[in-house]
Structure 1
């Protein structure tokens, strides 16, 4: 059946016995609530304007023409085609358009106040703040206080709109995954959606391409396609052992997610277990000089290595991705190399990234860079020879730099490249959540 979308007749045939899979699955009342156009809605409230009527865009930095649009109100999208991810230079000069830089402290305060409002309906341990504008809430057991969970969710939405003038969307499901899928694939269009396990064949299995499914990226999609799996329904009918052999523990997770099953307790990551550490960065201008690009790569290697060290992990596969400027007709490369011994050493990671860069860089202006390390192991597996004095020194240096940054801030100690014109670490250290405070 792989490679062909399941028909309704197939659903009945394949699910009659298969629904036994849900006998031990969690069946709670979880909602995932998302504040629509949160940054734009916050600025609209501050300026006393209606985000559903006025074209609004929140832009990272007015001083950078290539700055990214962080949020856009519905009229901005409908009338001018400007959406999240657009660039400042793409916004037309029009008297109706209202542009704002982000007020991150205000956004954080608003997010906390919204969480406090939700806390009036459920205890704090029933709330998991997923991001500044999105939270999971467990409404299980609140029926005696507030009535059916669906009604409680709508009361919470109405309360947020009335008190903060911020519209929201809610997805509900028996677990965090289903609530998130109901939100992303349904509720963001309608304002509210509830998915049950019975909805999985109709609403989930038809999803294609696979990257439309939460938690499946382009690379995983390509690997699944190569196995003849093109829809979530194909994935649900795939052989579990084959998936585990190919993807490891992630294969087990992919299979059960295709059935809408998620065993994560509230607050646990939807994808259990850290399988990689990575960082991506959209550059504020085209980087045309090799040394400038390598300077940013080194800074990013530092960030990735630090996160791995803090988690006590080391990786053997190092991946470098580089996208060229649209002015140079786009394109780019994404290449990985696996080394013999796991590492979380900044300079070792950079050495591999530099090799990949030298081998694949096409002498075109760069606009986006990504770096990751995967195939993780405990850093205890790193062999430290008593006679390898340089390795001991590098490890101690890394630990010292991590300590200073944790205690005094991420810009407390930087490599020399960060003080060059190409460096981005100092500017990023002055941001909150990637944006100006």
Structure 2
């Protein structure tokens, strides 16, 4: 058993805007997101464009949800379709943060995403009274000010607040979990990927060793989990007991363990050459982000999703190289090998790329047989600086000028969508 008295027991809330993009568009057009079927679509000019957000009535009445294609949305007079206005969404997000600042100082707020924030109300009782009631007052103020409904979870730490939000509050509007709720509310959760922080691949690995519920994970031998997953095994075990030592402002899963990019293409890419073009652009982008934090990676994972016109499907394959790299062309070479080996000749509609097994850049060895490594690294750094100063279109690879390239069009977007 865990002695919870040894761990912090705070008053932390996780506040999430309900169907944020759809709610923003509803507010802009004086509609009620709770009663009007609304979908925010990436591009209304392309029938294959996807739904980025849908209001509750849209999901319930018409079974339209995030990821649905535009051509799959039924023609109905009550349905309202909008394109995203990312600059407006960001403006609303900042307004929400300013509202939170009225209740707590900046260091007690962690903006987790554009529509979700953590807030630490520990010690505010003398100012605002009961923290639970304060959260509800914040939700009320956001709704009265911006016409945005929200849900909120509360807990003794960031993890428990997030779990209360995801597993209960999104159905009820508000939920507060304590350590006493772990065994009755958290342990029955299954499949394991329903728990925040556990992905499909980790779930599969846990299932393979006989763990199917959060309770199974909590009652597993810690040494066994650490042997299988390393430090992540220790974290999984303690999370299953509702324990999280993250400080406000630090991600719950400390340290980014991967860098990646995913892109749904606006049309079917029918040839490998076309896919290679967009893949090189993605390698360039991910490599730049890794270089910015002085990291290098050894495992590249390529995901390919086939077009629905080819009955869907796809693959995801990884390859680990002997020496960590942040060189665009070395990353591209590995991804190109994976594409050549596993692509089945079907038209492609989605491409994803991630790099894991990260290490500090200074650990990269200088090879006796590659005397250009340092020059290549400096070249990459120079290109990064030019793009940072003059914009992402200031310097491009030739593939971006072809019909298959997407970098130029995407550079005009905010958050991947129209501003």
Matched, 1:238 2:238: no
> For 1:27 and 1:198, how far apart are their aligned partners in 2?
12
Q: Any idea what SS the aligned residue of 1:23 has?
A: helix
Residues 83-122 of structure 1 aligned to structure 2 (within 5 Å) = 83-122=65-104
> 1:292-326 deviations in whole A, cap 9, x for unaligned?
01111111111111111111111111111112122
More off after superposition, 344-353 vs 95-104: 95-104
RMSD: 1.3
Counterparts of 2:320 and 2:147, CA distance in 1:
51
Q: Trace 1:41-56 onto structure 2 (pairs within 5 A).
A: 41-56=23-38
Larger mean CA deviation between 382-391 and 180-189 belongs to: 382-391
How far 1:387 sits from its partner (Å)?
6.1
Q: Provide the rounded CA distance (Å) in 1 between the counterparts of 2:240 and 2:396.
A: 44
**Corresponding residue number in structure 2 for 1:338:** 320
Name 1:172's counterpart in structure 2: 154
Q: Distance in 2 between matches of 1:132 and 1:374?
A: 25
Q: How does 1:125-140 map to 2 (within 5 A)?
A: 125-140=107-122
Say whether 1:19 aligns with 2:6: no
Once residues 35 and 320 of structure 2 are traced to their aligned partners in structure 1, the CA distance between those partners, rounded to angstroms, is: 53
- How far residue 386 of structure 1 moved from its aligned partner, in angstroms, is 6.5
Of 130, 143, 153, which aligns to 2:135?
153
- How far residue 24 of structure 1 moved from its aligned partner, in angstroms, is 2.2
State the distance in 1 between where 2:369 and 2:60 align.
65
1:288 aligns with 2:270: yes
Shift of 1:385: 3.9
For residues 4-403 of structure 1, what are the structure 2 equivalents within 5 Å?
18-20=1-3, 22-385=4-367, 388-403=370-385
2:399 is the alignment partner of 1:417? yes
Structure 2 CA distance for aligned equivalents of residues 329 and 343 of structure 1: 36
Deviant stretches of 4+, over 3 Å: none
* CA distance, structure 1, for counterparts of residue 298 and residue 20 of structure 2: 39
- Structure 1 unpaired stretches of 5+: 1-17
- Structure 1 CA distance for aligned equivalents of residues 96 and 298 of structure 2: 42
Q: C-alpha offsets along residues 99-144 of structure 1, whole Å, 9 cap, x if unaligned? A: 1111222211111112111211111221111111111010111111
Local SS of the residue matching 2:6: coil
1:426 CA displacement: 1.3
2:390 corresponds to: 408
Offset at residue 169 of structure 1 (A):
0.2
Deviation, structure 1 residue 406: 1.6
Q: Which moved more, 1:186-195 or 1:68-77?
A: 68-77
- The count of residues paired between Structure 1 and Structure 2 equals 419
The structural deviation recorded for 1:79 is: 1.7
Provide the C-alpha distance between the structure 2 equivalents of 1:198 and 1:411, rounded to a whole number of angstroms: 54
Per the alignment, in what secondary structure is the counterpart of residue 78 of structure 1? helix
Q: CA deviation at 1:390?
A: 2.6
Which deviates further from its counterpart, 237-246 or 196-205?
237-246
2:359 alignment partner, SS class: strand
Q: Which runs of 5+ in 2 are unaligned?
A: none
Q: 1:48 deviation in Å?
A: 1.4
* TM-score w.r.t. length of structure 2: 0.97
